[in-house]
A and B are shown apart, each in its own frame.
Chain A
Amino acid sequence: MTCCGTQAQPDNASIRSRLERERLLAASHGADETTVQSDFLVPAMHCVGCIRAIETGLARLPGVINVRANLSTRRVSVRWRPEDNGPSDFVGALADLGFEADLFDLANLKDEGDPVGRRLLLSLAVAGFAAANIMLLSVSVWSGATAETADLFHLISGVIAVPAVLYAGRPFFASALSALRAARLNMDVPISLAVLLALGISIAESLTGGKAAYFDAAVTLLFFLLIGRYLDHMMRQRARGAVTRLSRMIPSGATLVLPDGTLSYRPLGDIQPGNEIVVAAGERVPLDGRVKKGKSDLDRSLVTGESEPTLAGPGLDVEAGILNLTAPLRIGVTRVAKESFIAEIMQMMEAAEQSKSRYVRIADRVARIYAPVVHLLAAISFIGWMIGTGGDWRTSLFVAISVLIITCPCALALAVPIAQVVAANRLFRAGIPVKDGAALEKLKEIDTVVFDKTGTLTLGQLRVAAVSGGSPRDRDIAMALAGGSVHPAARAIADTGKVPAAMKLVDISEQAGFGMQARHEGKIARLGRRSWVAEIAATGETSAAPGDDGSEVCFAREGGPIMRFALADTLRSDAGETVARLAGGGLDTWILSGDTAGAVAPVAARLDIAKWRAGLTPHEKIACIEALQEEGHKVLFVGDGLNDAPALAAAHVSIAPASGSDIGRLSADLVLTGKTLGALDTAVRVAHQTGRIVRQNLGLAVVYNCIAIPIAVSGHASPLVAAIAMSASSILVVANSFRLNLGPDRSPLPDMRPALPANAPSGGLRREQAGVA
């Protein structure tokens, strides 16, 4: 019996290559009139040899104009002419060169370029140029330039400083303005005020031939702060890059069956309910629909959290994101892309994120206290000096402004971001990209850890738990038979041992929904569902045998006994240890799973987690987490699937393993790129250390202010004192932050590299040894 699904697909090479080409063109964009640019993700590219092999290998293909490999983003850009009967199978060509590659959808991922980063870098360059030149002039003034020379130097400094401050200070001014509009105070308000006032008073002083010009203070202040801003931005950008770089789980288009029966690859937006699409074995279902034709096994682990494959046949409803395992399916689309299961998940995530955005970062919390105090202090100094000097407003104003300048939170504004950047770098080296600094602050506060099961505590891969019946010879044949299939259950059996080389199987075929069949020494051998295997077995057991589902696989030779493989999901190797360590650290642990109670209970028992819930929908997961948070708990959610994405967004802070869904990774605050959960423990520990360093830094800044403010209020703050004090305090804070690199696990964890999934950015770990600078 051949499967009906296989007949449904006119699977000849020319149609396939035409579909590939349509898909390629849909994901490319036109470079000019006749050429298009296509991008490919090549995660395994890591050295100059790879670059050369790829660039020369692809350039040899006809129609290709230009190939450029980018090692930082692990992408290869190809410019080619689609008109010439040129190549369309670049992925195949890359595979021939020995590189696994994925088409990078330029149409869907419009994240190209980094305008904010470029702007910050340009501002940094301008501020650096201005700071260096003005500082040279200022040093001449301080070391005793005569009256006219000093005036001239002040004027030149002013000419450099004014445009530099106006250009380089824009990130701060913009942020301060938007804070003021919302009637709030952030750290950028005192920064902007101090810089602008310093600039203003210095211009006035230089024009009237006065002595005190703070041009150098204003510009170096901006220079230091921009360094902090830029590093902070780079950290986030890199984490984001590490996330988007991993291959995308949801296809951007689908193979549509046209009314005349031909196939065509179309973007998802073009497909309407009622259309029929084909999903090949090994592809993910792109849209919600109902199976019309074909029989296959489906891996729903990413969508519902069920770890065992389910059987699909005509009439079954399928959601977007499900992986089709064994045979092609024809699916009647029931909902457009915008209303699909994934879109629904996205809406829930947005709602959850809105309720979460109320979190106020520690730097802003400090600013709320600090800014009013500084402004009040300046006002008091002004009034005090007015009274003390009997109405000399010029001196009084000068003192008030110098108070603002010297208390300007240079160290304070660096205290938090620098510590977080250093910590994020350390975590990045350990294989844990961090989305932003707030994640580290929040990770420190958690008291409850909630795990998803499938793909998080477990690897989401089936493993043979027990074997009963059958002879060792039967087992060898079963393994050889299993080796011919991509079904996870077959893979698990094939991985249990090595097949003897003498094993000869003929007529191997895969029967979707049933299993594998072959002939061994003239006799039929079957591996698959119990009822199907029982048809040929000696004992003739009925098909109504218990457990006729994915959790067991049976094997029999014609007329022989039935051999049973019991399957279970594999726990991550260090899940028990990690959970025990987290629980030992006083954290409450939970499991919230979409899988059945029967699958969750043994995992919970093995990990010693008393609190667990099974069979939850995404809505129920959010509800559980919100209930916990309403009780005052701070929840860390660790999960990977599509069904976890809203919960990841709703939790106080969240971590997703890189093996999970894109949406899961994108909505999580941290990503684990290794195969172990031990990194979770590292992340929590580093977050605590960061919190400690941040507090120390803030303490240092306060001590600095306690010394500097009396000097400024008493009117002794000269430009030289201001320059030295501000630089010294900034350097102290930065140096203190670098102590975070001196932790016990400074080197990358030894087990991280081999454990990286094939599509993870392995080079990211390698390049980061030099630290932030």
Chain B
Amino acid sequence: MNHLIILIPIALFLGGLGLAAFIWSLNSGQYEDLDGAAERILDDD
């Protein structure tokens, strides 16, 4: 039982971290030009 008290908050925190990262990326406009992003990685410099 005791280890669950620690593990569940950790699991939820990590999941929440993922969600927060997604919301951040959405708000910072990273989904506005998906086609361009796919091409830009081919840019050498």
Hey, which bits of chain A sit against chain B, CB under 8 A? Answer: 47-48, 51-52, 69-73, 118, 121-122, 125-126, 129, 132-133, 136, 148-149, 152, 156, 160, 763, 767
- Interchain CB contact under 8 A, B36 and A122: no
- Does B6 sit at the interface, judged by CB under 8 A? no
Given A72-B34, A72-B36, A148-B1, decide whether A125 and B16 contact each other with a Cβ distance below 8 A: no
- Interchain CB contact under 8 A, A152 and B4: yes
Residue of B nearest to A113 (CB): B32
Q: Which 5 A-B pairs have the closest CB atoms?
A: A71-B36, A48-B39, A71-B35, A70-B33, A129-B19
- Interchain CB contact under 8 A, A122 and B23: yes
A-B contact pairs, 22 of them (CB 8 A): A47-B39, A48-B39, A48-B42, A51-B39, A51-B43, A69-B36, A70-B33, A70-B36, A71-B39, A72-B34, A122-B26, A125-B19, A125-B22, A125-B26, A126-B19, A129-B15, A129-B16, A133-B15, A149-B1, A152-B4, A156-B8, A767-B35
Q: Which residues of chain A are near B36, meaning CB under 8 Å? A: 51, 69-72
CB distance from A125 to the nearest CB of B (A): 5
Residue of A nearest to B8 (CB): A156
Majority SS of interface residues in chain A? Answer: helix
- Interchain CB contact under 8 A, B4 and A149: yes
Majority SS of interface residues in chain B? Answer: helix
The contact string, 1 if C-beta is below 8 Å from chain A, for chain B 12-32, is 100110110011001000011
A47 vs B40: C-alpha distance when bound (angstroms): 8
Inter-chain CB contacts under 8 Å: number: 52
Other contacts beyond A71-B36, A72-B33, A763-B35: 20, CB < 8 A? A47-B39, A70-B33, A71-B33, A72-B32, A72-B35, A72-B36, A121-B26, A121-B31, A122-B23, A122-B26, A125-B19, A125-B22, A125-B23, A125-B26, A129-B16, A133-B11, A133-B12, A148-B1, A156-B8, A160-B12
Q: Which residues of chain A are near B12, meaning CB under 8 Å? A: 133, 156, 160
Residue of A nearest to B45 (CB): A52
A129 vs B12: C-alpha distance when bound (angstroms): 9
Residue of A nearest to B12 (CB): A133
Residue of B nearest to A118 (CB): B26
Q: Which residues of chain B are near A156, meaning CB under 8 Å? A: 8, 12
A72 vs B31: C-alpha distance when bound (angstroms): 10
Residue from B16, B34, B40 within 8 A of A48 (CB atoms): B40
Residue of B nearest to A47 (CB): B39
Residue of B nearest to A126 (CB): B19
A767 vs B32: C-alpha distance when bound (angstroms): 15
Q: Which residues of chain A are near B26, meaning CB under 8 Å? A: 118, 121-122, 125
Q: Which residues of chain B are near A118, meaning CB under 8 Å? A: 26
Interface size on B, residues (CB 8 A): 22
Q: Which residues of chain A are near B4, meaning CB under 8 Å? A: 149, 152
Q: Which residues of chain A are near B35, meaning CB under 8 Å? A: 71-72, 763, 767
- Interchain CB contact under 8 A, B40 and A70: no
CB distance from A673 to the nearest CB of B (A): 17
A121 vs B32: C-alpha distance when bound (angstroms): 13
Q: Which residues of chain B are near A71, meaning CB under 8 Å? A: 33, 35-36, 39
A129 vs B16: C-alpha distance when bound (angstroms): 8
A149 vs B5: C-alpha distance when bound (angstroms): 11
A51 vs B44: C-alpha distance when bound (angstroms): 13
CB distance from A155 to the nearest CB of B (A): 11
CB distance from A158 to the nearest CB of B (A): 13
CB distance from A430 to the nearest CB of B (A): 19
CB distance from B9 to the nearest CB of A (A): 9
Q: Which of B33, B34, B42 has the most CB of A within 10 A?
A: B33
Q: Which residues of chain A are near B32, meaning CB under 8 Å? A: 70, 72
A156 vs B15: C-alpha distance when bound (angstroms): 14
A69 vs B40: C-alpha distance when bound (angstroms): 11
A666 vs B18: C-alpha distance when bound (angstroms): 39
A132 vs B16: C-alpha distance when bound (angstroms): 11
Q: Which residues of chain B are near A133, meaning CB under 8 Å? A: 11-12, 15
Q: Which residues of chain A are near B31, meaning CB under 8 Å? A: 121
A639 vs B19: C-alpha distance when bound (angstroms): 47
A152 vs B1: C-alpha distance when bound (angstroms): 10
A69 vs B43: C-alpha distance when bound (angstroms): 14
CB distance from A760 to the nearest CB of B (A): 16
CB distance from B2 to the nearest CB of A (A): 12
A125 vs B4: C-alpha distance when bound (angstroms): 26
Q: Which residues of chain B are near A121, meaning CB under 8 Å? A: 26, 31
Given A133-B11, A149-B4, decide whether A48 and B33 contact each other with a Cβ distance below 8 A: no
Residue from A51, A125, A148, A149 within 8 A of B40 (CB atoms): A51
Q: Which residues of chain B are near A70, meaning CB under 8 Å? A: 32-33, 36
Q: Which residues of chain B are near A129, meaning CB under 8 Å? A: 15-16, 18-19
- Interchain CB contact under 8 A, A73 and B15: no
CB distance from B41 to the nearest CB of A (A): 8
Q: Which residues of chain A are near B34, meaning CB under 8 Å? A: 72
Q: Which residues of chain B are near A52, meaning CB under 8 Å? A: 43
A122 vs B42: C-alpha distance when bound (angstroms): 29
CB distance from A609 to the nearest CB of B (A): 41
Q: Which residues of chain B are near A47, meaning CB under 8 Å? A: 39
A105 vs B40: C-alpha distance when bound (angstroms): 27
CB distance from A66 to the nearest CB of B (A): 14
A73 vs B39: C-alpha distance when bound (angstroms): 14
Q: Which residues of chain B are near A125, meaning CB under 8 Å? A: 19, 22-23, 26
A70 vs B11: C-alpha distance when bound (angstroms): 37
A160 vs B34: C-alpha distance when bound (angstroms): 31
A209 vs B24: C-alpha distance when bound (angstroms): 38
- Interchain CB contact under 8 A, A73 and B22: no
A156 vs B4: C-alpha distance when bound (angstroms): 12
Q: Which residues of chain B are near A149, meaning CB under 8 Å? A: 1, 4
